[in-house]
Amino acid sequence: MVNNTTHNNVSNENKTIDNNSEKSETKLIDSGKITGFDDVYYNSSYVSSWKTYATGTDMVNINVKWNFKDANKSFTQKITIEKIGNTPPEVRISIVPKVSGHSSYETYTSATANGYKNVLDYYWNSFSEVLYEDPANRH
């Protein structure tokens, strides 16, 4: 496995959103790019770039473009983080496809039970760190 801090160059352009907004308007809140080398799936240098959109405070969509240069493999990944239910509220995270380029991944967490106010708070204070990880550590 590749050491992320040694092999990746990260640039990130954080944007802000009004967390108090009651509107369901979709806004670009984050974008970034990471480069490195993957020796698990493709044995290739890669570039990963993403744009994150929030709809209110309870839904986040992340569009990730992967380009594994040496393997001549590119694909787009969609990650959705959304609040489900109210008692207790859960957060569903779905990733289509996995970094392997095949199948999908879905999991649930109780973000509010873990101290996050809403999905947007969970994204900024926990999930966004995943976007900087080595592909072998991601789904």
pTM of the model: 0.77
Give residue-wise pLDDT tens across range 2-57. Answer: 333 334 444 444 444 444 445 579 999 999 999 999 988 999 999 999 999 999 99
The secondary structure element, H or E, covering residue 41 is: none
Residue 1 to residue 40: CA distance in whole angstroms: 7
User: Mean of the per-residue pLDDT values for the chain?
Assistant: 81
- What is residue 100's three-state secondary structure? coil
Residue showing tokens 């092999």: 7
Higher pLDDT, 48 or 139: 48
At 130, the amino acid letter reads V
Q: How high is the pLDDT of residue 5?
A: 31
Residue 91 to residue 59: CA distance in whole angstroms: 9
Residue 56 to residue 60: CA distance in whole angstroms: 8
